[in-house]
Structure 1
Amino acid sequence: MTLFSFSSHELDFIDDDEFHEECGVVGIWTTQDAASLTALGLHALQHRGQEASGIVTYDGNQFHTHRGLGLVGEVFDDPRVIASLPGGMGIGHNRYATTGETQLRNVQPLYGDFEFGGFAVAHNGNLTNAQLLKQSLVRRGCLFQSSTDSEVFIHLIAISLYSNVIDRFIDAIKQVQGAYSLVALSKDMLIAARDPLGVRPLILGKLPYSQDENSWVVASETCALSSMGADFVRDIEPGEVIIIDHDGVRSIHPFADNTSSRFCIFEYVYFARPDSVIENKSVYMARKKIGAELAKESHVEADVVVPVPDSGVPAAIGYAEASNIPFELGIIRSHYIGRTFIEPTDQIRNLGVKLKHATNRAVISGKRVILIDDSIVRGTTSKKIVEMVRAAGATEVHLRIASPPTQHSCFYGIDTPAEEKLLAHTHSIDEMCKLIGADSLGFVSADGLYRALQEDKRNNQNPQYCDACFTGDYPIPLTDHDMQLVKSK
Structure 2
Amino acid sequence: MLTTHPFDDDKLREECGIFGVSGAEGAAALVALGLHALQHRGQEAAGITSWDGRAFHTHRAMGHVAGNFDRDDVIRALAGNTACGHVRYSTTGETSLRNVQPLYAELASGGFAVAHNGNISNAMRIRRDLIRSGSIFQSTSDTETIIHLVATSSYRTLIDKFIDALKQLEGAYSLICMTPEGMIACRDPLGIRPLVMGKLGDSVIFASETVALDVVGAEFLRSVEPGELVIVKGTEISSHRPFAPQAARPCIFEWVYFSRPDSIADEHSVYSVRKAIGAQLAIESPADADLVIPVPDSGTPAAIGYAQESGVPFELGIIRSHYVGRTFIQPGDKVRHLGVKLKHNANRALIKGRRVVLIDDSIVRGTTSLKIVQMMREAGAAEVHMRIASPPTRHSCFYGVDTPERSKLLAATHDLEAMRTYIQADSLAFVSIDGLYKALGSEGRPRVKPGFCDACFTGDYPTPLTDQDESGTPVDQFALLEERVG
The interval holding the TM-score normalised by the smaller chain is over 0.9
Moved more, 346-355 or 126-135: 346-355
Name the SS for the 1:479 alignment partner: coil
Which one of the candidate residues 108, 113, 130 is aligned to 1:137?
A: 130
Unaligned runs of 5+ in 2: 477-486
Which one of the candidate residues 294, 301, 321 is aligned to 2:281?
A: 294
User: How far, CA to CA, are the matches of 1:195 and 1:349 in structure 2?
Assistant: 43
- Contact 1:188–1:245 under 8 Å retained in 2: yes
Name the SS for the 1:27 alignment partner: strand
Which residue in 2 is equivalent to 1:100? Answer: 93
Report the CA distance between 1:74 and its aligned residue: 2.2
Name the SS for the 1:285 alignment partner: helix
* Count of residue pairs the alignment pairs up: 473
User: How far, CA to CA, are the matches of 1:276 and 1:388 in structure 2?
Assistant: 31
Report the CA distance between 1:248 and its aligned residue: 1.7
Report the CA distance between 1:459 and its aligned residue: 4.5
Which one of the candidate residues 319, 330, 347 is aligned to 1:332?
A: 319
Report the CA distance between 1:346 and its aligned residue: 3.0
Report the CA distance between 1:422 and its aligned residue: 0.4
Which residue in 1 is equivalent to 2:191? Answer: 198
Is 1:223 the counterpart of 2:216 in the alignment?
A: no
Amino acid at match of 1:128: S
Report the CA distance between 1:334 and its aligned residue: 2.3
Moved more, 260-269 or 451-460: 451-460
Is 1:281 the counterpart of 2:274 in the alignment?
A: no
For residues 331-354 of structure 1, the C-alpha deviation after alignment (integer angstroms, 9 at most, x for no partner) is: 012223334465443333344642
Unaligned runs of 5+ in 1: 1-5
Moved more, 49-58 or 68-77: 68-77
Report the CA distance between 1:247 and its aligned residue: 4.2
Over 3 Å counting, the alpha-carbon distance change for 1:419 and 1:83 in structure 2 is: same
Report the CA distance between 1:11 and its aligned residue: 6.7
Which residue in 2 is equivalent to 1:385? Answer: 372
- Contact 1:14–1:352 under 8 Å retained in 2: no
Over 3 Å counting, the alpha-carbon distance change for 1:173 and 1:329 in structure 2 is: same
For residues 38-73 of structure 1, the C-alpha deviation after alignment (integer angstroms, 9 at most, x for no partner) is: 000000000000000000000111110000000000
Q: RMSD value over aligned CA atoms?
A: 1.9
Is 1:362 the counterpart of 2:349 in the alignment?
A: yes
User: How far, CA to CA, are the matches of 1:59 and 1:348 in structure 2?
Assistant: 51
User: How far, CA to CA, are the matches of 1:226 and 1:189 in structure 2?
Assistant: 24
Which residue in 2 is equivalent to 1:473? Answer: 460
User: How far, CA to CA, are the matches of 1:289 and 1:341 in structure 2?
Assistant: 40
- Contact 2:441–2:447 under 8 Å retained in 1: no
Give matches, 1:50-129, under 5 Å.
Answer: 50-129=43-122
Report the CA distance between 1:362 and its aligned residue: 2.0
Moved more, 156-165 or 83-92: 156-165
Moved more, 73-82 or 411-420: 73-82
Is 1:237 the counterpart of 2:230 in the alignment?
A: no
For residues 285-327 of structure 1, the C-alpha deviation after alignment (integer angstroms, 9 at most, x for no partner) is: 0000000000000001111100000000000000000011111
Amino acid at match of 1:173: L
Which one of the candidate residues 436, 444, 448 is aligned to 1:449?
A: 436
Name the SS for the 2:322 alignment partner: coil
Report the CA distance between 1:363 and its aligned residue: 1.6
User: How far, CA to CA, are the matches of 2:6 and 2:356 in structure 1?
Assistant: 27
Which residue in 1 is equivalent to 2:484? Answer: none
Name the SS for the 1:16 alignment partner: helix
For residues 357-401 of structure 1, the C-alpha deviation after alignment (integer angstroms, 9 at most, x for no partner) is: 100112211111000000001111111110101111110100000
Is 1:248 the counterpart of 2:241 in the alignment?
A: no
- Contact 1:100–1:148 under 8 Å retained in 2: yes
Give matches, 1:339-358, under 5 Å.
Answer: 339-340=326-327, 342-351=329-338, 353-358=340-345
Over 3 Å counting, the alpha-carbon distance change for 1:274 and 1:316 in structure 2 is: same
Which residue in 1 is equivalent to 2:30? Answer: 37
Q: TM-score, normalised by structure 1?
A: 0.93
Give matches, 1:309-324, under 5 Å.
Answer: 309-324=296-311
Is 1:394 the counterpart of 2:387 in the alignment?
A: no
User: How far, CA to CA, are the matches of 1:116 and 1:19 in structure 2?
Assistant: 39
Over 3 Å counting, the alpha-carbon distance change for 1:458 and 1:222 in structure 2 is: closer
Report the CA distance between 1:256 and its aligned residue: 2.4
Which residue in 1 is equivalent to 2:360? Answer: 373
Name the SS for the 1:398 alignment partner: strand
Which residue in 1 is equivalent to 2:481? Answer: none
Over 3 Å counting, the alpha-carbon distance change for 1:163 and 1:348 in structure 2 is: farther
Name the SS for the 2:469 alignment partner: helix
- Contact 1:304–1:326 under 8 Å retained in 2: yes
Amino acid at match of 2:160: D
- Contact 2:4–2:339 under 8 Å retained in 1: no
- Contact 1:13–1:349 under 8 Å retained in 2: no
Q: TM-score, normalised by structure 2?
A: 0.94
Name the SS for the 1:465 alignment partner: coil
Name the SS for the 1:166 alignment partner: helix
Report the CA distance between 1:18 and its aligned residue: 1.2
User: How far, CA to CA, are the matches of 2:331 and 2:19 in structure 1?
Assistant: 35
User: How far, CA to CA, are the matches of 2:474 and 2:255 in structure 1?
Assistant: 34
Name the SS for the 2:226 alignment partner: coil
User: How far, CA to CA, are the matches of 1:418 and 1:233 in structure 2?
Assistant: 38
Report the CA distance between 1:171 and its aligned residue: 0.7
Report the CA distance between 1:168 and its aligned residue: 1.0
Name the SS for the 1:24 alignment partner: strand
Amino acid at match of 1:319: Y
Is 1:435 the counterpart of 2:428 in the alignment?
A: no
